Amino acid sequence: MTSTATDGTALSDAELDDLRETVRSVCADAGGTAAVRRLAEQSPGIDAELWDTLGRQVGLAALGLPEAAGGIGGLAEIAAVCEELGRTLSPVPLLSSTVLAGQVLAGCGTADEALAELAEGRVHALAVAAPDGAWRPDAVPVAVTWRGGVPHLDGTAPFVLDGADAEGLVVAAAGADGLDLFLADPREPGVTVRRVPTLDLSRGQAVVSFSGARARPLTAGGEGADIVSRALDVALVALAAEQLGGAQAALDMTVAHVRDRTQFGRAIGGFQAVKHTCAEMLLQVEAARSAVVRAVRAADSPETLAEAAAVAQAWCGEAFVFVAAECVQLHGGMGFTWEHDAHLYFRRAQSDAVLLGGAAHHRERLAGLLGW
């Protein structure tokens, strides 16, 4: 299965399998969830060494970007990689930089230099979320005013993924002509980036405030809203694939535990209540997989992709939450401990469930897309 969601060179099925195996191997060499625990001792952020390997050496920083920027693959490749990263909760900025910021920059058509930097592994972050965390073009928290022919940004952008580690900020701002996109340097005067505590220990977030900050325009005439909406459809599928990978890992962990853990002289996996719970977990995972596959197959049609992305996010977020919660429960007392990985998946699941708008938001959007 290949994708034309972007114009990067698509991979064959064999190459896609090789890509999955490469990502899985690199993450395993990094210690799996041990990379998350190392960062958790400080604050959620990016594992720079792991991102150097995956982003620059393997080339994932350019995944799904235009060929002119050195991009490879499309939505199928993005989903495959995100699923593998979701299995180990790898703290790398693929979703924040390559997918979110990268897809928006690619849609602008005027950001060749920024795209080239991003494709080399330099982190960029996207600041477009409304105060409730969702994408709402009528509730963008940053405004732009033009002074002396130069755009200046004012406002506070919440929920900026990996914003504290970014070298460039792609910002949606409302102005007299509508909503447009701008590129800002977080080191410039008038820009304040504050890393914030997060439930998810594997992904950092920041609040970015602008006070008369100079920026470079990427679009004009109110073109920004459509570009962000199209990019977010790709990002929603990428996030759903991450959630699928995390849910699969939590299920695998649980099945291994109930096979080995004995009580009253038998494995607890033999008890009917445990078997029924595991069966429901499997159902949730496989339904999530179907939603992701369906969305990937819709990559050629923006209208179909929008609908399939809403379905995938509405389902996969809740599926991951359910599976991660049952993973904690079926591990008994050890599932609640800091030393066990179950809480890492539970944290990611809860955070991802509202990351780009919760399930209710996507169901509402789906109803609008279908004319209900």
Q: What is the pLDDT of residue 203?
A: 93
Check residue 143 and give left, alpha or beta (phi > 0: left; psi -120 to 50: alpha): beta
Give the mean pLDDT of 317-332: 97
> pLDDT averaged over the chain?
93
The pLDDT tens digits of the residues spanning 196-229 come to 999 999 999 999 999 999 999 999 999 999 999 9
Q: What is the pLDDT of residue 323?
A: 98
**Band of the pLDDT at 6, cuts 50, 70, 90?**
low
In this prediction, what percent of the chain has a pLDDT beyond 90? 86
Query: Domain 13-122 adopts which CATH fold?
Result: Butyryl-Coa Dehydrogenase, subunit A; domain 1 (1.10.540)
**Band of the pLDDT at 230, cuts 50, 70, 90?**
very high
Q: Is the pLDDT of residue 258 over 70?
A: yes
pTM: 0.94
The pLDDT tens digits of the residues spanning 281-299 come to 999 999 999 999 999 999 9
Q: Is the pLDDT of residue 2 over 60?
A: no
Going from N- to C-terminal start, the domains of the chain cover 13-122, 126-222, 225-369
**Band of the pLDDT at 8, cuts 50, 70, 90?**
low
The pLDDT tens digits of the residues spanning 88-97 come to 999 999 999 9
Q: What is the pLDDT of residue 7?
A: 56
**Band of the pLDDT at 132, cuts 50, 70, 90?**
confident
The pLDDT tens digits of the residues spanning 334-353 come to 999 999 999 999 999 999 99
**Band of the pLDDT at 9, cuts 50, 70, 90?**
low
Q: Is the pLDDT of residue 4 over 90?
A: no
Q: Is the pLDDT of residue 1 over 50?
A: no
CATH of the domain spanning 225-369: 1.20.140.10
Q: Name the CATH superfamily for 126-222.
A: Butyryl-CoA Dehydrogenase, subunit A, domain 2 (2.40.110.10)
225-369 has the same fold as 126-222 = no
